[in-house]
Amino acid sequence: MRQTMRQTLRQTRVLAGATAGLLLLTACSGGGEDVDLDGGGDGASGAGAEASGPVLRAAIGGEPDQLDPNKTSSYFSFQVLENVFDTLVEPDENLDMQPALAESWETSDDGLTWTFHLRDDVTFHDGSEFTADDVVYSFDRIVDEELSPSWRFGAVEDITAVDDRTVEITVSQPSPNLLSSLGGFKGLAIVEQANVESGDITTAPVGTGPFSVADYTSGESIDLVANPDYWGGAPEIGGVTYTFISEGATAIAALQGGEIDWTDSVPVQQLEQIQGDEAVETGVVPSNDYWYVALNEKREPWDDVRARQAVAYAIDREAIIQAVSFGTATPNQLAIPQESSWFTEYDQYSTDVDRAKGLLAEAGVTSATVDFLATSEYPETVTAAQIIADNLAPLGITVNIRTVDFATWLAEQGEGNFDAFMLSWLGNIDPDDFYYAQHHSTGGSNYQGYANPEVDRLLDAARTETDTAARKDLYAQAATTIADEASYIYLYNPSVIQAWSPQLEGYTARSDRAIRFRDVTLAE
C-alpha cells in the first residue's frame, strides 16, 4: 500500500546517504559493472558458479532498506527481490494468478479449505530442498510477527503442511481473493527458516527465484547471479547488477551513454525526447495505481454529498493529467483501470462549472475555505492542488494549500486535520484492495469518513462471493455509488514508465510494477 511503502522509501533515501558516507571509509573497489561469479559461489554451495552470459546493469531510484521480503515495504527492495524470491502463485501480465511454487490448487465445496500442491523440483539457493514446511513457516512468521503483509491473512484461520508437497489453508469465510492475497506481490515470498534465524536475510537473502544475491555493497550496488537450478529454467543472462540513481536525468544520461541497460527513473517531462532516441527503448504501461482527491466528510460543508459533487464537477481532470504526467496517465473516474478484468465503465463527471454552482446552491453553500493537504515529496499533489484551487475559485471556494513533509502529512491525515487531500494507492490487484479499506465505514483507510450502509453491504458481500461474474457486479455497484457520492473523487491511473537499451530483449514493463528479468536476453 502506497502510503506506508512510500514512507519507507523516504527513510531508505536517508539510509542510502548515510551508507554512501560509510562506503568512502571502507573504500570498496569495483565499479559494479561485472558480477564476481566466483564470489557468487561463496557460501552458496556452488550456486551460480556455472552461470554465464552477460550481466544486466539496472539502475533503480534508491537503495533498499533491507532484503527481507516479508518485512520490507520499500519498492526499491521489491525491484530486487522480485528476481530472488517466489510466491505460491504469481500474477501474469494481466494480473491473473498463475501457478508458481504451487503447481495446482483446489477449494473445498464450502469454500473454506484451500489445498495447494507444491512443485517437487524446487531448491533454495543454498541447495536445501523446498517443502511445505517452508510455506507454513513463512506465512506463520508473517502472521505471528505481524509483518507488513499480515493484513492479507485477515480471513485465514489455519495453515498446515499435510505432507511435504501439500499445504492446506482454512479460511473463516469464502475468500475469492485468497490467491491474490497470497501471491499478489513478493511481500508474500517463501523464505528459508535458517536464513531468517541467522539474520542474514536482511542483506544476503536465500530464495528459490531465478537469481541469487551474490554480493551487496551498501551504498553502491547489489549483484545477482543466475540460478542454474531455477525450476522455471535457468535465465539466459548471467546476472543483474543493481545500482542506485535517484536523479531521473542522470539515469537517462547513463542509459544513453551505455553505462546502464535498464532504469525506471524516467522524468516524464523528458519522455517525449527520450522516445525519439533510437538508443533507448521505453515502456509506458497504465498501472493499477490510482490518484484521487478526498474531502473530509466529518467537516462542513463536505458532509453534504452535493457539496462534494460540486467539487467533482468543477475539477478539470484533463488539465491535471496534462500537468502532472505530460499526458502519460489515463483519466479514470473509478479506481480500477481499463486494462483490468474488473474494470467498470463510468463517466458521470465532466468539467461543468454551472452544474457545480447549482449543486453548491442546493447545498446552501455560498462560500467555503478548503485546507488542502499536499506534500512536496509527491510534487503531483502540489501541482494538482494549484489547478484545483483555480478550478474551485469560480465557485467561491478558496483553497489554501498546506505543503508539509510526508510524515506530517500522514499524521494530519490520521487525525483528520484536513478539508481535502490528494494521494494515490498502489499495489492493488484484487478489487477488494481498491475499495474495502477506503470506503467501508469500518475500513482502516477511510480517512474521509465515508459511511453508506448499502456500500458496506455490497463490499462485504463481494468479499465472500465466489462467482466471478456476480462478484464483479457487486463491485461495479459499490464503485459506482462511491463515485456518485464522491467519497473519493477519482482522477487518473498513472503509467509505469521505464526505459532500457535496445540490447535488452524480451523485457516488458508490467502494470503492477514488478520488475522481472528472468526471461530476458542481452545482446553483447
Q: Is residue 403 involved in binding another protein (CB under 8 A)?
A: yes
Taking CB under 8 A as the criterion, the residue among 319, 353, 437, 451 binding another protein is 319
Closer Cβ to another protein, 171 or 312, answer by number: 312
Tell me how far apart the alpha carbons of residues 119 and 455 are, in angstroms, rounded to a whole number: 41
Tell me how far apart the alpha carbons of residues 337 and 493 are, in angstroms, rounded to a whole number: 6
Closer Cβ to another protein, 93 or 316, answer by number: 316
Instruction: Using the rule CB under 8 A, give the single segment among 254-262, 383-391, 458-466, 468-476 that binds another protein.
Output: 383-391
What residues numbered 223-252 form the site for another protein, per CB under 8 A? 249
Taking CB under 8 A as the criterion, the residue among 47, 155, 234, 387 binding another protein is 387
Taking CB under 8 A as the criterion, the residue among 269, 348, 442, 468 binding another protein is 269
Task: Tell me if 66 sits within 8 A of 72, measured CB to CB.
Answer: yes
Task: Tell me if 498 sits within 8 A of 489, measured CB to CB.
Answer: no
Please, is 152 exposed, middle or buried when counting C-beta atoms within 10 Å of its C-beta (0-12, 13-18, 19+)? Answer: buried
Tell me how far apart the alpha carbons of residues 56 and 260 are, in angstroms, rounded to a whole number: 8
x-or-dash string of contact with another protein, 279-318, rule CB under 8 A: -------------------------------------x-x
Closest separation in Å from C-beta 20 to another protein: 22
User: DSSP character for 123?
Assistant: B
x-or-dash string of contact with another protein, 142-181, rule CB under 8 A: ----------------------------------------
Alpha helix stretches (DSSP H) within 424-467: 431-439, 453-464
Strands 368-375, 397-404: pairing kind: parallel
Closest separation in Å from C-beta 116 to another protein: 47
Tell me how far apart the alpha carbons of residues 430 and 173 are, in angstroms, rounded to a whole number: 17
Instruction: Using the rule CB under 8 A, give the single segment among 8-16, 114-122, 184-192, 375-383 that binds another protein.
Output: 375-383
Tell me how far apart the alpha carbons of residues 182 and 224 are, in angstroms, rounded to a whole number: 25
Taking CB under 8 A as the criterion, the residue among 404, 437, 451, 461 binding another protein is 404
Task: Tell me if 522 sits within 8 A of 505, measured CB to CB.
Answer: yes
Strands 488-493, 290-295: pairing kind: antiparallel
Closest separation in Å from C-beta 518 to another protein: 35
User: What is the grid cell recorded at 35?
Assistant: 558480477
Question: What's the half-sphere exposure (Cβ side, CA atoms, 13 Å) at 57?
Answer: 21
Q: Give the residue from 366, 361, 331, 333 showing the smallest Cα distance to 349.
A: 333
Closer Cβ to another protein, 49 or 382, answer by number: 382
Q: Is residue 390 involved in binding another protein (CB under 8 A)?
A: yes
Taking CB under 8 A as the criterion, the residue among 54, 174, 267, 449 binding another protein is 267
Q: Give the residue from 470, 476, 436, 480 showing the smallest Cα distance to 343.
A: 476
Closest separation in Å from C-beta 386 to another protein: 4
Instruction: Using the rule CB under 8 A, give the single segment among 67-75, 182-190, 264-272, 347-355 that binds another protein.
Output: 264-272
Taking CB under 8 A as the criterion, the residue among 131, 148, 322, 330 binding another protein is 322
Closest separation in Å from C-beta 382 to another protein: 6
Closest separation in Å from C-beta 332 to another protein: 18
**3-class state of residue 493 by DSSP:** strand
Taking CB under 8 A as the criterion, the residue among 389, 437, 451, 461 binding another protein is 389
233-235-239 Cα angle (round to 5)? 145
Task: Tell me if 170 sits within 8 A of 156, measured CB to CB.
Answer: yes
> Footprint of another protein on this chain (CB under 8 A)?
249, 267, 269-270, 316, 318-319, 322-323, 376, 379, 382-383, 385-387, 389-391, 393, 400-404
